[in-house]
Amino acid sequence: MEGAQEGVYLKTTLDNGLRILTTAMPHTRSVGLAFFVGVGSRYEADAQAGASHFIEHMVFKGTEKRPSAREIATAIEGIGGVFNASTSHEITAYWAKVAAPHRSVAIDVLVDMLRHARFDPVEIEKERRVIIEEINLTLDTPDQLVYLLIDELSWPGHPLGRDVAGTRESVSALDRQALLEYIRQYYVPGNVVISLAGQVEHQAVVDELAHLLDGWHDGERKSFLPAVDNQTSPRLRVYYKDTEQAQLCLSVPGLRRLHPDRFVLRLLNTILGEGMSSRLFLEIRERLGLAYSVSSYINTFEDVGTVGAYAGVDPARIQQAIRAILSEWDRLRREPVTQEELDKAREYLKGRLLLQMEDTFSVAAWFGQQELMSPEEVLTVDQVVAELDKVTVNDIQRLAQQLFVGSKLNLAVVGPFENEEAFGDSLSWL
């Protein structure tokens, strides 16, 4: 095995390819730890849709050492810790945060879950019903559903355009053998990063994990289906739902994760729709009174991304809201932002980053996710701050002109609308 100091963290790669990262934060009394697996819903074929998420649920349902979900939960909660997991399009994460003296317990529990989950057939059937109810909840929740619809428009027929949880049909068809085969393909040490931060001593953590994971052999994983931006005209989806409020999402193609302009995009998005001093908030909510909730967002993946805006509005005023959002997009194309506005957004982002890095789990996640997804470019917070400081008002306008193109526009609407015809004109505003 090899060990190396890299920035503010230490990294060791075991002989089987597993990467272990530790970041010492001796002033803290906790340890945050996370196991990042390089797999998510975009790796799934249609028949496997929801497999990554299903597996994430099942590892909490019992191991040989801790046969029930209750025993797993008690192992962490009984020492005052917290733990959870999440599945995205490209990463599955399992994490815990515990008081420093209980670090070894948390490591043992997470290793046990990931390597020795039972996948009991009875528990699989129970959890299948739970996941289907989770899917039903999303479909019944308009402000969640509209995000699914905009993704479908952005990547039609592609795994990135699907719900991470899969569909009711695909989840109903997944069996124990399919889930175990999926684990065999992707849960291999070369596809996993374990990251800890807090009161940790690097070599002790490495020795502990090497012992617990002895015999875990690497393998070859399949890659995902690349996404291609071939959009040449606006796309629209209107989903009828008898609601008091209409939900809308607008989006255009964005940037891949390591695009050179990604720091420009972070600042552009902050100016546009992050916080109560952003342009969308001040215009849509404060000046026009059209929405209680309005924001902008970005998604970045290995090869593609999106830039979008969301609002929940009175159905009678949805056209006005759409035009107002598009007007703000167009304003960014036509007029440079002021230096004062850029500086404010820069300090907002820098402040949020610095506050985030006081938490042990956030630090573990910061380095662990980067090491997994972009090991060739793992940045410290100071390096990110330096990149943000380089961005100019001309960079913001240049990127806005590149991104906000009318032929690339997508609009998803959920609300009491019988047809799409009334929204056709809205797509010509950009």
Q: Tell me if residue 235 falls in helix, strand or coil.
A: strand
Query: How many Å apart are CA 53 and CA 39, to the nearest integer?
Result: 10
Q: What is the pLDDT of residue 250?
A: 98
Q: What is the pLDDT of residue 2?
A: 46
pLDDT tens digits, one per residue of 80-134: 999 999 999 999 999 999 999 999 999 999 999 999 999 999 999 999 999 999 9
Q: What is the DSSP string of 15-69?
A: TTS-EEEEEE-TT-SEEEEEEEES--GGG--GGGTTHHHHHHHHTTS-BSSS-SH
Reported confidence tier of residue 3, pLDDT bands at 50, 70, 90 = very low
Which residues are CB-neighbours of 430 under 8 A, at least 6 positions away? 326, 329, 330, 404, 405, 406, 409
Query: How many Å apart are CA 200 and CA 369, to the nearest integer?
Result: 19
Q: What is the pLDDT of residue 347?
A: 97
Q: What is the pLDDT of residue 224?
A: 94
State phi, psi for 354 to the nearest 5 degrees.
-65, -40
Reported confidence tier of residue 5, pLDDT bands at 50, 70, 90 = very low
Q: Are 83 and 102 in contact (CB under 8 A)?
A: no
Q: Domain coordinates of the chain in residue numbers?
A: 2-212, 235-428
Strand-pair partners of 5 = 10
pLDDT tens digits, one per residue of 393-403: 999 999 999 99
pLDDT tens digits, one per residue of 269-328: 999 999 999 999 999 999 999 999 999 999 999 999 999 999 999 999 999 999 999 999
Q: Are 356 and 25 in contact (CB under 8 A)?
A: no
Ranges of beta strands (E only) in 44-156 are 82-87, 92-99
Q: Is the pLDDT of residue 430 over 80?
A: no
Q: What is the pLDDT of residue 419?
A: 87
CATH fold group of domain 2-212: Cytochrome Bc1 Complex; Chain A, domain 1 (3.30.830)
Domains 2-212 and 235-428 are alike in CATH topology: yes
Q: What is the DSSP string of 284-334?
A: IIIIT--EEEEEEEEEE-SS-EEEEEEEEE-GGGHHHHHHHHHHHHHHHHH
pTM of the model: 0.95
Q: What is the pLDDT of residue 422?
A: 83
Percent of the chain topping pLDDT 90: 93
Q: What is the mean pLDDT of the chain?
A: 95
* Cα–Cα nearest to 93, from 209, 219, 192: 192
Active-site residue, from 6, 44, 56, 123? 56
Strand-pair partners of 296 = 309
State phi, psi for 293 to the nearest 5 degrees.
-115, 120
Query: How many Å apart are CA 36 and CA 266, to the nearest integer?
Result: 24
Reported confidence tier of residue 424, pLDDT bands at 50, 70, 90 = confident
pLDDT tens digits, one per residue of 59-84: 999 999 999 999 999 999 999 999 99
CATH fold group of domain 235-428: Cytochrome Bc1 Complex; Chain A, domain 1 (3.30.830)
pLDDT tens digits, one per residue of 230-260: 899 999 999 999 999 999 999 999 999 999 9
Q: Are 76 and 106 in contact (CB under 8 A)?
A: yes
Q: Average of pLDDT values for 55-59? A: 98
The answer to whether residue 274 is catalytic is: no
Maximum CA extent, the chain: 64
Q: Is the pLDDT of residue 192 over 60?
A: yes
Q: Tell me if residue 131 falls in helix, strand or coil.
A: helix
